[in-house]
Amino acid sequence: MVHSAKAGAGGLLRLGVVGVGVMGANHARVLADLAEVKLVGIADPDQKQRDLVSKALGCAGHADVEALIAGGVDAITIAAPTHLHRHLALTCIRHGVHILVEKPIASSVEEGRAIIAAAQRAGVTLMIGHVERFNPAVEAIKTAIRDEDILSIAITRVGPFPPRMSNVGVVIDLAVHDIDLIRWFTDSDIVEVQPQLSNAIAEREDIALLQFRTASGVLAHINTNWLTPFKARSVTVATRKKYIMGDLLTRQVTECFGFQPDGSYSMRHLSVGHAEPLRSELQAFVSAIRLGKPPAVTGEEGVASLEIAIRCLEGRDAERCVTAPPTQARDLSMRESVDPSGLVTT
Ligand SMILES: NC(=O)c1ccc[n+]([C@@H]2O[C@H](COP(=O)([O-])OP(=O)(O)OC[C@H]3O[C@@H](n4cnc5c(N)ncnc54)[C@H](O)[C@@H]3O)[C@@H](O)[C@H]2O)c1
């Protein structure tokens, strides 16, 4: 049973953000502008970053989550590095604070489950930041395949190395978005995993070709890497009666339908909205808190996607010993010299 939040003075929900780096600064920007919300503060041990964001948005800046909570908050979004999610989430939950945890939910399935169990015991809302679900192009694809017999899904998510690297590779950083999309598009669990990984430049995998089969029999494929000079994100879905192509960056979604025996077919562009995905996601979080309803992306869904991503990595270390010559296993610091033009977002 999740408690709905008591609104503060003026009916505003008091929100805070923990970790205001690349992603958290965007959380704070969007929250500062949301109706029915007051961004009361942010927390980040990096003073420069903290001051930058708190001054720009006119909210309090704190060095740690405890100080942010002591200032009085109803809910917090957690966008600190993934290995800190468990500790930060449990701290918030202990104080009865509703949380949105950035993807992936945690560093391990066990940590993710600990967050879920604590949130359930405390009766607080727990939502996971799988923001791609709120991309209007993804929403249009989801609508187009409703009631269709889905046969296969292919997703491409490639680009250059991010400017600031965490200690995870492309599977945990990027493919986890698409694992979530495959599970969501098909309303089914992934039951078979066939990963191909390689580390061309980095210590961790920087190229991954992942194949899956869902319990419902859908075949799915993810092509992801940090070795492409430009960002590309595309989804194609083949159903028995339609073929849908979506570009998640330009937000153009096209469907082919009416297949004829002579090979002809019809084609149309689908109507796609313009909303900023992060804004829609945070609105959904606020709405779940206010109504005391299950959030759009649950902790269980976050753990399920993380579990599949981790299965993709099983055996990786053994394989790397065999396939990666020492000259290729260069230091991670090399990544900083790669063109950092790609944003870290999705
Ligand atoms: N949904 C998406 O599309 C998306 C995109 C990027 C990152 N993320 C996720 O967001 C999280 C952060 O990633 P990022 O790229 O913004 O990282 P980042 O390194 O840019 O920012 C992390 C921030 O957290 C701060 N921090 C460190 N320890 C902290 C602590 N104890 N308490 C509070 N803040 C602390 C750091 O000082 C830094 O400012 C990760 O979990 C990542 O997977 C999600």
Radius of gyration of the chain (CA): 21
Nearest to 7 by CA among 88, 98, 95: 98
pLDDT, tens digit, 9 for 90 and up, residues 110-131: 999 999 999 999 999 999 999 9
> Has residue 342 got a pLDDT over 60?
no
Average pLDDT taken over every residue of the chain: 90
Eight-class DSSP state of 109: H
Q: Which ligand 1 atom minimizes the distance to the CA of 80?
A: 24
CA of 22 to the centre of ligand 1 (A): 7
251: left (phi over 0), alpha (psi -120 to 50) or beta: left
Residues 6+ apart with CB under 8 A from 189: 183, 214, 215, 304
Distance CA 95, CA 346 (A): 30
> Has residue 276 got a pLDDT over 90?
yes
CA of 85 to the centre of ligand 1 (A): 9
Pocket of ligand 1 from Cβ distances under 6 Å: 18-24, 43-46, 49, 64-65, 79-82, 84, 102-103, 129, 131, 164, 344-346
Query: Is 0.75 topped by the overall pTM?
Result: yes
Eight-class DSSP state of 346: -
